[in-house]
Structure 1
Amino acid sequence: METRLELDVLIYPDEVRVVTPEDLREWELETASQVSILTVRLFVALYPYNPAAMSPNPDTAAEELPFVPGQIIKVFGDKDPDGFYHGESGGLSGYVPSNMVAEIPVDDEYLKHVLMQQGFLPVDHAADMSLTPDLSDTDSVHEDVIIRRMVALFDYDPWENSPNMDSEAELGFRSGDIIYVLGDMDEDGFYYGDLHGGRGLVPSNFLQPLPWK
């Protein structure tokens, strides 16, 4: 009776060798790491969500994830046809309504790790959210300017963090501050913003759009 033996091999320019169990484990770990980096995204909850009382799908509410404003949620993949992501936070996992959260645009893996460890981003500043900027200074703001509301993802000190020599023209802020952006981003990646009546340039990569209520 003929016996056939099948082996996996690695082909190099100068040799061919049989794949070892160590090679397979290393390949699996590398592949898993690459998939994780490509598909895991971070979101912050903009509003409180109690699936039992608020879910549009009462039959599957138990499969959804409850959260509070500022809670950081790790999301896997894209949203489904019903507008839900699948994510996890605080040791729980479940479906997340996309209209209740906003993505945190962070590509740096270390910063992602820090945010996940932190668990929360203080975006629920009720006093700040109820205020609108004073636009009485018509010398610096045109009537047709587009005003957008954004939340600071990280602390920003122009004297320490600015890439520009003229950092005195920039506005310092703390994580969770609500900044009203006046107009479009300039060629250096900065907006002109308003924070509690103070105005200056703010770096776009430190901010996340925050919908108006």
Structure 2
Amino acid sequence: MEETIALDVLIYPNEIRIVTPEDIREWELEAASQLSIPTARLFVALYPYNPAAMSPNPETAAEELPFVPGQIIKVFGDQDCDGFYHGESGGLSGYVPSNMVAEVPVDDEYLKQLLVQQGFLPMENTGASDLDLSLTDAANTPDDVVVRRMVANFDYDPWESSPNIDSEVELSFHAGDVIYVFGNVDEDGFYHGDLHGRQGLVPSNFLDALPWN
């Protein structure tokens, strides 16, 4: 019984030749270069949103993402014809109404990751200029400063517990709060830290390291 061998060929006006492994690799690279990988953008929720009670599309409310003011949402692609983005936050994914969120203007990938880990922005007010300002200080953190993620073991009120006279430069926090600290501890045992956009000194003996992963 004769064995049949299948070969791919290229047909040109002046020749016919067998496809080589190099041809296949070239096609694969060209196809990969044409794939559109959606770039994640960061948005912040301006208002509370409960799809079950507030969605304009009750039949698809279960596919929408609930959120609270200040919550960071990763968005992929542009909004659809109904004015919804597709996003994810807090381990959930779903549709997000564009009129309830605002884009956070940040391009630095490390800062994006930091904001996603933090999960929230301070929302004393919702003006876009204030969002820009709240990100400026974080974006200006020197590249060589080590950023650590830490968790508070106890409540801390500087006005009651601080050993320092200038306690107004310190942060108050509650047990369980996740605080990002910059650089090393100072000679008084304090870090410079950030909690939901508020920055100040935090006592190192109230904190434990919290791994990024």
TM-score by length of 1: 0.49
Larger-gyration structure (1/2) = 2
